[in-house]
Amino acid sequence: MNIHLTKSQIGLDGVPAAETVLSHVDGERGELIIAGEHVAELASRSSFEGVTARLWTAATGRPLAEADVRKSLGAARGDARPVDADLLPATRGLSIVDGFRAAIAGLRAENGLDHEATIVGAFPVIAGALVRRASGDAPVAPDPNASHAADTLAMLRGRKPQPREVTALDAYLVTVCDHGMNASTFTTRVVASTQADLFAAVTAGYCALTGPLHGGAPEPVLEMLDAIGTRERIKPWVDDALSRGERLMGFGHRVYRVRDPRADVLKAAIERLATDGADLPFAGEVEAYIRQALRRKNPDRPLETNVEFFTAILLDALAIPRQAFTPIFAVARAAGWTAHAREQQRTGRLIRPSSSYVGPMPG
Ligand code: ACO
């Protein structure tokens, strides 16, 4: 009784909570392996459908090819249209992030498709409809024959994307589709461990994703770059924010003690996209100064660039509104969440940890 836990114990730092064949994060070496491949390798040659096929195959033991997933996601996007029309009224008056939460909570099994395909297919349809409504536009009908990345961009922006834009979004979707036992995946697995269905498990995962310490960081990254504004203001702005004890979004990670490997994959995707919409040299100067300032402030705690810094720049360069960044993260991570939920149901056990009671005793 009355045993106070350390900060690391409270955060479950380094505590394994599942056996998984889906992904592995090595925080010391800065490595991420997804379904047996390094993330940089996967992002350079796999589509979102390809990596989703690998994750679902690994989770269920049922072999799936990229073409099977492309077909089922196309069908699911097509079927999601009536669902989305039903669900949108429930999201009236809510922000895009909150509306997305309300809409996905109302998803249900449709037309005999696997639950995982229904979920992953519906996500971009819902995100697209919410983004379009926010700008006063009508939703764009999904194209079941397009790739998931191409159709996501078309439904968000209302015009057919260029091939290099599709390549860039596909690289993003692959890069962030899964990432070990992060907070939202853990949440998903806890819910799945009760044998609740995939819709419940993934909705819970999305709720965890929305916090700024997890998937809610990219919008504030852009706000930070906007607030800094010019090269001359980098040093005073950053020094000031740190002296007020603020956390700088897009930096630091619970597991990585070196640079997040996904940051460089996304930086390379932005370079290949070659658009005037991304001021990479300015972002690079901000990044370099923040890393230096964080080293000065916390010499014993390595705080490096994380995936969210370049996520913000990439999604902004693709003209995706910043208010939709977290739902777009979910479009990608839904592949990982559904795989983890299935794996948990198949091989796991009810997750039920204990707590240390530090309250008063009776009498
Ligand atoms: N900016 C400034 N200081 C920071 C930052 C940061 N981004 N991150 C950590 N620190 C400081 C903490 O304030 C703490 O200082 P203190 O000891 O003086 O209180 C010290 O570094 C150690 O922090 P920890 O508690 O060990 O950090 P934790 O592991 O809890 O945090 C986290 C990880 C939440 C990601 C943190 O680095 C952070 O808040 N980053 C900013 C938000 C962000 O970018 N989130 C996206 C993460 S990636 C993802 O989830 C997809």
DSSP letter string, 174-212: HHTS-BTB-HHHHHHHHHHHTT--HHHHHHHHHHHHTST
CA of 322 to the centre of ligand 1 (A): 22
Its pTM surpasses 0.85: yes
Q: How far apart are CA 261 and CA 254, in angstroms?
A: 14
Question: Model confidence over 152-193: pLDDT tens digits?
Answer: 999 999 999 999 999 999 999 999 999 999 999 999 999 999
Q: How much is the pLDDT for 278?
A: 79
CA of 141 to the centre of ligand 1 (A): 40
Percentage of the chain modeled with pLDDT above 90? 90
Q: What is the mean pLDDT of residues 34-63?
A: 97
* Max Cα–Cα distance, the chain, nearest Å: 71
Residues with CB under 6 A from ligand 1: 182, 213-215, 217, 247-254, 294, 298, 301, 303, 306-308
Contact 53, 64 (CB under 8 A): yes
For the cut 70, the answer to whether the pLDDT of residue 223 exceeds it is: yes
Percentage of the chain modeled with pLDDT above 70? 98
Q: How much is the pLDDT for 84?
A: 65
Q: How much is the pLDDT for 112?
A: 75
For the cut 80, the answer to whether the pLDDT of residue 131 exceeds it is: yes
Q: For residue 251, which atom of ligand 1 is closest to its CA? A: 7
Catalytic-residue membership of 253: yes
Catalytic: which of 115, 148, 253, 340? 253
Catalytic: which of 116, 287, 304, 308? 308
Question: Model confidence over 324-359: pLDDT tens digits?
Answer: 999 999 999 999 999 999 999 999 999 999 999 999
Q: How far apart are CA 125 and CA 142, in angstroms?
A: 7
Question: Model confidence over 272-306: pLDDT tens digits?
Answer: 998 777 788 999 999 999 999 999 999 999 999 99
Contact 192, 344 (CB under 8 A): yes
Whose alpha carbon is nearest atom 5 of ligand 1? 247
Q: How far apart are CA 80 and CA 119, in angstroms?
A: 9
Residue 82: pLDDT band with limits 50, 70, 90: low
Question: Phi and psi at residue 179, in whole multiples of 5°?
Answer: -160, 65
Q: How much is the pLDDT for 277?
A: 75
Q: How far apart are CA 204 and CA 97, in angstroms?
A: 14
Catalytic-residue membership of 285: no
